[in-house]
Amino acid sequence: MLIFAQINRTRSWVFGESIGLHFNKSGTIDTLSGIYKPGYPQYEGTAVYNDSSGNLLYYVLNGQLIGNDNKPINTGFAMGGGSSASQANIITSLNDSIFHVFGSSSGFNYYYCCFDRYANKFTVLGKSLIYRASEAQALINHQNGKWKWVVCHSRLGDTLYSFLINENGLETCPVISHAGPFYNDWYPGQGCMKFSPDGKYLVFTTWNLETIEFCSFDNTTGKITLLFRIGCLGANGLEFSDNNLFVSCSRDGKIRKYSLNKLNYDSVQKSNIVIYDTTDIFTLGQIQKAVDGNIYVALDGVNRLGILRKINNNYKFNYTIPLFGNKVCYLGFPSFNASYFHTPALNFSYSQNCKTNRFRFTATDTFKASSWQWKYSKGAANYTGSGITSEFSFPDTGVWQVQCIASKGSRKDTVTKNIEILKPLKHNYLGEDILLPAGSAMSGTIEGPPNMHCLHWHIKGDTIEHKTKDYLFSDTGYYICHATNPVFCTYYDTIRVRVCDSFAKAAVIERSGDSLFTKTYATKYQWYRVTTNGDSLIVGATFNRIKLFSPGTYKLRTWNANGCDSMSTAFEVNALGLKILSLADILIFPNPNQGNFTIQAKQKTIRKIAIYSMTGKLLYMDKNINTRIVEINKQLKTGMYLIELNDTDIVKMIID
């Protein structure tokens, strides 16, 4: 089930002076008992994670993860967050098994922890992700409906960090954007950061800077762009509802509503309507939409909540009954994902096989559609599919448009998403093992693949991670590279660095007619052709002899029994004596064929036949022939082949 439809997961809240609430399906609100009481009240933001029915599963107070038995789980280390951070923590999971916890507290680093629910242990303890984070952070779903983005803001400048969580865990290389508010080091970055329900926009309230900042968000790349900002005295809490933005401005004691029908400075600024006004400034805290459709307001030092209800298309402010007994609310609420409250009539999720670029798409709708159509297009290329699920292998790279059309009777809804397809990274992208001569310096460079979002290097058996394009090694061993491309496909490769005590003897190349060969013994051979871009491996040329079909410069690499290698000197071939026969000189029928064919010479006797690949690899040979007609039955792959007759003549053949 997609996260955006799981509204039940927001039924339980924990905040303030150890206050727990549960929003019942009947519309009533229960107070939860036994909520853990830390050393200090939670003055501002909290984190909550509920099960699919809305029952409390985990929450975070004062940087402590607490289970539904109301007992702290983490001891002996801090997970970030604090009692006076606007949005102190976020807790989320892709599968209700592995939980990701983020902690933000002004003046401190941005921390990450990972907790395995079923093993009942932390697998990552207080990892620092960035230096000096502000107090604001936000969570939203990736476009594919499977992954999630967590965004935080530096306390230094206007730097935003988008961290992706996928099935491999947290990608610790963030997408960096220079957008949003600009904080000098002495600003704590108070306020709030939230996504619009559809994930297209990210909005900030900046209590110190007294602005509301509007940014666009690309939920496939994580890139953020500033659109515009408007003023608001003490802008603190914010929430979305019905294409409106609600903001609590604590310095002037007002809750304002802005229309988002036209997202530009003039339209948003002019749409400003005051929903609530009080002389009791600094009381208004965060505002949060609940599963009952109402918007609740945190009131500092009060034992009840403010509430915004929509009555006859107008929003009215009022108060709940006293809910907290002797306890009081402060300025914060749980850091829920805005997309929890967004249930589009039609949407689709997708998963990807990064090695083949084959995708599986799954449609979801709220109107019980009876048929679904899919369209995949890029330029003039157009493909179609049908069914609530559809699989498609993209035949080309670039940005493709994927459209889902769902129908029920006369109703037809459409949703469209753009998906960028990149060329998969080749297998063994790090190349072959690095072999060093005995006594040589233990240092060198392992080159990583180009155009990656991030490269993570590990030494086998070591937990230290190195994030760099190329890796400088200083010892032998196994080195593992985890490559992440710009659309967050991941690839792994391992390369070994070792010392060779006895290198293979360099091959001596000789020529016989239109073949090159070596008498140098080796356990393994590989022929190369020298090009302007370096030595190009000839696929399949792995014997001590190679047939030549074009002039050029060639090399031979050899290996000994220990796996150590040497490269020969270059051997230049200027001319060949082979004659390419036309079909007037010899008949091959049928041609193309599937491996069963007849060769008929018109004017000479066939004494010897050899079949080669186009790279010179010998595939078949018969030396005991003395006739003009020869029948061949040989299983060969689809492609073009060269048939040599009597060591002198060549004819082309196609296998289809």
**Is 2's pLDDT higher than 60?**
no
> In CATH, which superfamily holds the domain spanning 346-421?
Immunoglobulins (2.60.40.10)
pLDDT tens-place string over residues 341-367: 777 899 999 999 999 999 999 999 999
Residue 176: CB atoms within 10 Å: 14
Identify the CA nearest to 457 among candidates 495, 401, 487: 495
Burial of 261 (0-12, 13-18, 19+ CB in 10 A): exposed
Identify the CA nearest to 476 among candidates 455, 495, 453: 495
**537's tokens:** 């491996």
The DSSP annotation for 450-465 comes to: SS-SEEEEEETT----
**Is 192's pLDDT higher than 80?**
yes
At 138 the pLDDT is 95
Report the alpha-carbon distance of residue 455 to residue 173 in Å, rounded: 9
Report the alpha-carbon distance of residue 161 to residue 176 in Å, rounded: 5
In one-letter notation, the amino acid at residue 443 is S
pLDDT tens-place string over residues 225-251: 999 999 999 999 999 998 999 999 988
- Alpha carbon dihedral 148, 222, 456, 445, in 10-degree steps, equals 170
At 579 the pLDDT is 60
Mean pLDDT of 589-599: 84
**Is 121's pLDDT higher than 60?**
yes
Least reliable range by pLDDT among 105-119, 285-299, 592-606? 592-606
Residue 503: CB atoms within 10 Å: 16
Contact 117, 365 (CB under 8 A): no
CA 93 to chain centre: 16
**417's tokens:** 């998403």
pLDDT tens-place string over residues 286-337: 999 999 999 999 999 999 999 999 998 899 999 999 999 999 999 999 988 7
Pick the CATH number of 579-655 from 2.40.10, 1.25.40, 1.10.3470, 2.60.40: 2.60.40
User: Where exactly are the structural domains of the chain?
Assistant: 3-341, 346-421, 434-499, 509-573, 579-655
At 6 the pLDDT is 55
Asked whether this chain's domains 3-341 and 579-655 adopt the same fold, the reply is no
State the pairing for strand pair 490-500/434-437: parallel
In the beta sheet, which residues pair with residue 553?
572
What's the pLDDT band for 458 if we cut at 50, 70, 90? very high
In one-letter notation, the amino acid at residue 195 is F
Contact 130, 110 (CB under 8 A): yes
Pick 378 or 588 by higher pLDDT: 378
CATH topology of domain 434-499: Immunoglobulin-like (2.60.40)
Handedness of CA 55, 56, 58, 63 (dihedral sign): positive
The continuous run of DSSP H or E covering 268 comes out as: helix 265-270
Instruction: Specify the residue for token string 């020529």.
Output: 511
At 5 the pLDDT is 41
**Is 582's pLDDT higher than 80?**
no
At 500 the pLDDT is 81
Pick 6 or 246 by higher pLDDT: 246
**Is 448's pLDDT higher than 90?**
yes
At 563 the pLDDT is 76
At 559 the pLDDT is 86
State the pairing for strand pair 346-353/254-259: unpaired
**81's tokens:** 């967050």
Contact 458, 492 (CB under 8 A): no
The DSSP annotation for 278-323 comes to: -S-TT-EEEEEE-TTS-EEEEETT-SS-EEEEEETTEEEEEEPPP-
Cα-trace Rg, the chain: 34
Report the alpha-carbon distance of residue 112 to residue 465 in Å, rounded: 15
Provide the edge-to-edge strand list for the sheet that holds 273-277: 235-241, 244-249, 254-259, 273-277
What's the pLDDT band for 340 if we cut at 50, 70, 90? confident
**609's tokens:** 């036949």
Identify the CA nearest to 21 among candidates 48, 52, 1: 48
Mean pLDDT of 525-536: 89
Of all residues in the chain, the percent with pLDDT exceeding 90 is: 65
What's the pLDDT band for 198 if we cut at 50, 70, 90? confident
Report the alpha-carbon distance of residue 619 to residue 653 in Å, rounded: 13
Report the alpha-carbon distance of residue 184 to residue 403 in Å, rounded: 44
DSSP-derived 3-state class of residue 608: coil
| CA atoms within a 13 Å half-sphere pointing along the CA-CB vector of 173 | 20
Residue 516: CB atoms within 10 Å: 22
At 118 the pLDDT is 94
Residue 272 dihedral angles phi and psi, to the nearest 5°: -60, 120
pLDDT tens-place string over residues 136-165: 999 999 999 999 999 999 998 999 999 999
At 1 the pLDDT is 30
CATH class, range 3-341? mainly beta
Report the alpha-carbon distance of residue 273 to residue 607 in Å, rounded: 97
In the beta sheet, which residues pair with residue 150?
139, 163
What does the mean pLDDT of the chain come to?
A: 90
At 3 the pLDDT is 39
Identify the CA nearest to 376 among candidates 336, 337, 416, 320: 416
Provide the edge-to-edge strand list for the sheet that holds 389-393: 346-353, 358-365, 389-393
Contact 463, 442 (CB under 8 A): no
At 478 the pLDDT is 93
Identify the CA nearest to 357 among candidates 303, 331, 321, 396: 396
Give the pTM: 0.79
**Is 562's pLDDT higher than 80?**
no
At 365 the pLDDT is 93
pLDDT tens-place string over residues 621-632: 888 888 888 888
Contact 459, 477 (CB under 8 A): yes
In the beta sheet, which residues pair with residue 151?
138, 162
Give every CB contact of residue 2 below 8 A, 6+ residues apart in sequence. 141, 145, 347, 349, 364
pLDDT tens-place string over residues 56-75: 999 999 889 999 999 999 87
At 348 the pLDDT is 96
Report the alpha-carbon distance of residue 296 to residue 13 in Å, rounded: 12
Mean pLDDT of 38-49: 91
